[in-house]
């Protein structure tokens, strides 16, 4: 689990190699931008894909060999101890659906000490 003042590494694998993707970190898994989460993305041309996390922070890039990763240090703020962050991946996948993009499952991480 992530810890105060330590590095968190997020990875999303099994992606189409060389495609652009994003790793998302959110502070909510119930609402984002006026929408209820989880949100079915079929209406955006992504049947079978869901948005599980609000989008409060994100990093994007070309995946290397089908894996997109990023690391960041969680601040050593005692006030964040026990809080939960939510993460998810989104990647371009031409031909997967009419939007040419897919999402990963969601992940909840609770900040420990």
Report the predicted TM-score, pTM, of the whole model to 2 decimal places.
0.91
The arithmetic mean of pLDDT across residues 77-100, rounded, is: 96
pLDDT score at 49 = 98
- Listed residue (105, 54, 107, 111) closest to 82, CA to CA: 111
Asked if residues 5 and 73 have their Cβ atoms less than 8 Å apart, the reply is yes
Radius of gyration of the chain (CA): 15
> What 8-state DSSP symbol labels residue 74?
P
pLDDT tens across 34-74, in order?
999 999 999 999 999 999 999 999 999 999 999 999 999 99
The arithmetic mean of pLDDT across residues 10-29, rounded, is: 96
């Amino acid at each position: 689990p992530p810890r105060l003042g330590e590095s968190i590494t997020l990875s999303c694998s099994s992606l189409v190699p060389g495609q652009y993707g994003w790793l998302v970190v959110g502070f909510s898994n119930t609402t984002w931008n006026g929408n209820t989460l989880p949100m079915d993305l079929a209406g955006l041309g992504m049947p079978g894909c869901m948005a599980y996390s609000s989008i409060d922070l994100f990093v994007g890039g070309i995946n290397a060999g089908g894996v997109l990763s990023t690391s960041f240090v969680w601040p050593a703020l005692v006030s964040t101890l026990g809080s939960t962050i939510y993460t998810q991946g989104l990647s371009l996948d031409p031909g997967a659906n009419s939007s040419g993009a897919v999402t990963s499952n969601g992940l909840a991480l609770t900040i420990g000490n």
